[in-house]
Amino acid sequence: MQRAEFTEVWKSTKKLNKVVLAIMPTPVGKYNLITLEWFMRTSIKPPMLAISIGHTRFSYECLQVGDCFNVCYPSGEMTEAVKICGTQSGRDMDKLLEIKEDWFHGRYRKVPILKNAVANFECQLVSQIRSGDHTIFIGEVKYSWVNTEKELLFL
């Protein structure tokens, strides 16, 4: 065991990484998607999920004005979508159009549900906590959707 710089030690803790897409309304009535590896479940009753978003992201701006987001667990067929949503900014493009995934409006606030995903969780934004250069957005799950025919994507 030896002491090392944080990033090096952190990298050593992962092999396969689970990622999600968060989808939220934009200030102009469209939808934005972002790829995230920093997320977790934070409550059993009611079910709650937390996502951590950097302050430079367009998604951060969106969540300053919106009150909801969907957490979408991508299937193995969605690598291209995960790549686009994790490398392009919604400031420069409409990622929902760009990823060419089938979707329908959710029940809670109409935020898109991606049909090819393994699971989608519609969340109401209930609180946010600043954490260094990111903010943790906590959502209460209002509706959940599952696709039992799909396998989860690991990066």
Ligand X SMILES: Cc1cc2nc3c(=O)[nH]c(=O)nc-3n(C[C@H](O)[C@H](O)[C@H](O)COP(=O)(O)O)c2cc1C
Would you say 74 or 106 has its CB closer to ligand X? Answer: 74
> How many residues make contact with ligand X (CB under 6 A)?
21
**CA nearest neighbour of 104 among 77, 86, 122, 79:** 122
**Residue 89 Cβ vs ligand X, minimum distance, rounded to whole Å:** 3
Contact predicate 155/14, CB 8 Å:
no
Reading the block at residue 154, the tokens are: 């690991």
Reading the block at residue 113, the tokens are: 């549900």
Among 98, 108, 147, 155, binds ligand X (CB under 6 A): 155
**Residue 1 Cβ vs ligand X, minimum distance, rounded to whole Å:** 28
Reading the block at residue 76, the tokens are: 């193995």
Cβ-based neighbours of 66, under 8 Å, separated by 6 or more: 24, 25, 26, 27, 125
**Residue 118 Cβ vs ligand X, minimum distance, rounded to whole Å:** 17
Our finding on whether 49 is near ligand X (CB under 6 A) is no
Residues at the contact surface with ligand X, assessed by CB under 6 A = 19, 32, 34-38, 52-54, 57-59, 86-91, 134, 155
